[in-house]
Amino acid sequence: MNAALNVRDYSCGKVRRRMDSYLAGELSVDLSHEILEHLERDPVCRAELQARENLRAAVRRIAAATPEPRDGLEAEVRARVARVPPAPSAAPTLLLAASLVAAVGLASYLAIARFGGAPPPTARKPASAWPAFEFAALNHRNCTLRHSWPKENPPAEQKLEDGLDAELAGALHLAASRLPGYVPVEAHLCNHAGEKVFHVIFRRRGTETPEGLVSILVTRPGSTFAEGVRLAGLEGGRHEGFQVVGTSARDGRLIFVVTTGNEDEAMSLARAVLPTLAVAFLAHP
Partner 1 sequence: MREDFDREAWPHFREIYRAALRLSRRPAEAEDLAQEVFFQAWKSFSRFERGTNCRAWLYRILWNVNQQRSRKRIPFTLGAEGEALLAETLAAEEPTPTEIKDEEVTAALDAISAEHRQILLLSDVEEFTYREISSILRVPIGTVMSRLSRARAALREKVRGTAAAAIISSGAAAEGGAP
**Which range, of 29-37, 43-51, 113-121, 204-212, touches partner 1 by CB under 8 A?**
43-51
Euclidean distance between CA atoms 136 and 119, whole angstroms = 26
**Contact between 26 and partner 1 per CB under 8 A:** yes
Q: Compute φ and ψ for 204, nearest 5 degrees.
A: -60, 130
Q: What three-state secondary structure class fits 18?
A: helix
Contact call for residue 164 and partner 1 (CB under 8 A): no
Residue 59, interface with partner 1 (CB under 8 A)? yes
Q: How far is CA 92 from CA 85, 172, 283, in A?
A: 17, 22, 10
C-alpha 221/C-alpha 284 separation (Å) is 10
Q: Which x/- pattern over 209-248 shows residues binding partner 1 (rule: CB under 8 A)?
A: ---------------x------------------------
CA dist., res. 270 & res. 276, Å (int): 10
Site for partner 1 contains 72 (CB under 8 A): no
Of 3 and 63, CB closest to partner 1: 63
Please select the residue that binds partner 1; options are 8, 9, 29, 66, rule is CB under 8 A. 66
Q: Is 38 in the site for partner 1 (CB under 8 A)?
A: no
Of positions 4, 6, 86, 208, contacts partner 1 by CB under 8 A? 86
Report how far residue 41's alpha carbon sits from residue 36's, in angstroms, rounded to the nearest whole number.
9
Query: Is residue 84 near partner 1 by the rule CB under 8 A?
Result: yes
